[in-house]
Amino acid sequence: MDDTARRSETSTQAAVQVQDVSMVFDGTPAVDAASFDLAHGRFLTILGPSGSGKTTLLRMIAGFQTPTAGEIFIKGTPVSTTPPHKRSIGMVFQKLALFPHMTAAENVAYPLKMRRFAPADIPGRVKRYLELVQLGPYADRRIHQLSGGQQQRVAIARALVFEPDLLLLDEPLAALDRKLREEMQLEFRRIQQELGVTTINVTHDQREALVVSDEVIVMDDGRIQQMASPTTTYGEPANRFVANFIGVTNFLPGEVIGAESGRARVRVAGHELEGRVAEPLAAGTQVDCALRAEHARILGEAEAVSFSADAVITESIFEGDRTVYSVVAQALGGAQIRVFDTLHAGAGNKGIGDAVRIGWDSRHLMVFPR
């Protein structure tokens, strides 16, 4: 194969391919027939609740566990039988596993020494990666002299300094406070984009998945429920689980009356509602109508929407940038609906016990089979 053909093959070949990979523990599948391709330079987050299989999947990619079935390819090479130290992978764990007796620079230099890099090349490479994570002036400090965020940065530099083909992140931000975690999410994204390193991140934090990722995989019960961009995952969830797991979502039980062209008419407590569907649904199908809390509104007197109903406020929680209302709509079978009021345009100074009118546009109602 000539150099041009080889470059063309590399540019089109997926950085990571997971093909029908399963992991069974004591007869119970922790990961069940997972498959996906990840292109070079992309940032993928695997998102899911505890026990969904996301960490097990990451550990198989890293080489810490061997799949019961299926195969994993990194840059086109099967690696299921390749030990972790022979895979070109950098990894940052929740427990950073930094060496406390070493300085920041010595920690970053460690993987270079283990891989027998030329001694003369190590100082310059360490300096470059400490500067990349904005820790140049802290090179000689020991780990206990660094803040939690600075320790995270050392761990990132150590994982990247030998220029791996793949960076794996195993919930490294979970132990940080909210403000620092959100700052580090943006820092991870900046570094990943600057280096163009293919990255797989595991988290249960919805915001993190949406903020840092090019693509998101949502897992539940060992299975991949959806793989899509953050905007598609949030705006067009593939099923009820994804809709419920990401964001704050209201569900109204109903029955399909009819459906056509990606839309469905649903009977809910005697009312006919209209919403969008991801798959054709036959009349009589029992469904849940999903409505994001930010798409439900407390309406002004003359405000017109696709559907409206009278309700009573039962809870009001002020969160600074928004107020979260819980309302009960007797016309919808006594359903409790959560409403985000960000701009206070409709709700004003409403309080518990106040009668209101709520509503939404039919384009925001999603219909999923039970």
pLDDT at 153: 92
Tokens found for residue 133: 């994570």
DSSP at 40: T
The answer, as to whether pTM is greater than 0.85, is yes
Tokens found for residue 257: 């009356």
pLDDT at residue 138 greater than cutoff 70: yes
Q: Where are the domains of the chain?
A: 12-240, 248-369
Cross-strand partners of 314: none
| CATH class of residue range 12-240 | alpha beta
pLDDT at 286: 97
pLDDT, tens digit, 9 for 90 and up, residues 192-246: 999 999 999 999 999 999 999 999 999 999 999 999 999 999 999 999 999 999 9
Homologous superfamily of domain range 248-369: Nucleic acid-binding proteins (2.40.50.140)
pLDDT, tens digit, 9 for 90 and up, residues 52-66: 999 999 999 999 999
d(CA 221, CA 201): 19
pLDDT at residue 29 greater than cutoff 50: yes
264 Cβ contact list (under 8 Å, min separation 6): 256, 257, 258, 274, 275, 276, 277, 281, 287, 367
d(CA 275, CA 361): 9
Q: What is the mean pLDDT of residues 135-139?
A: 95
pLDDT, tens digit, 9 for 90 and up, residues 85-102: 889 999 998 888 899 999
pLDDT at 345: 52
d(CA 260, CA 223): 29
Q: CB of 58 within 8 A of CB of 35?
A: no
Q: CB of 337 within 8 A of CB of 250?
A: yes
Element (H, E) at 341: strand 335-341
Task: Work out the pLDDT band at 178, boundaries 50, 70, 90.
Answer: confident
Q: What is the mean pLDDT of residues 122-132?
A: 96
HSE toward the beta carbon, residue 103, CA cutoff 13 A: 13
Task: Work out the pLDDT band at 347, boundaries 50, 70, 90.
Answer: low
d(CA 164, CA 89): 5
DSSP at 145: G
Which ranges constitute the DSSP H helices of the chain?
3-12, 54-62, 104-114, 122-132, 148-160, 178-195, 206-212, 230-235, 240-245
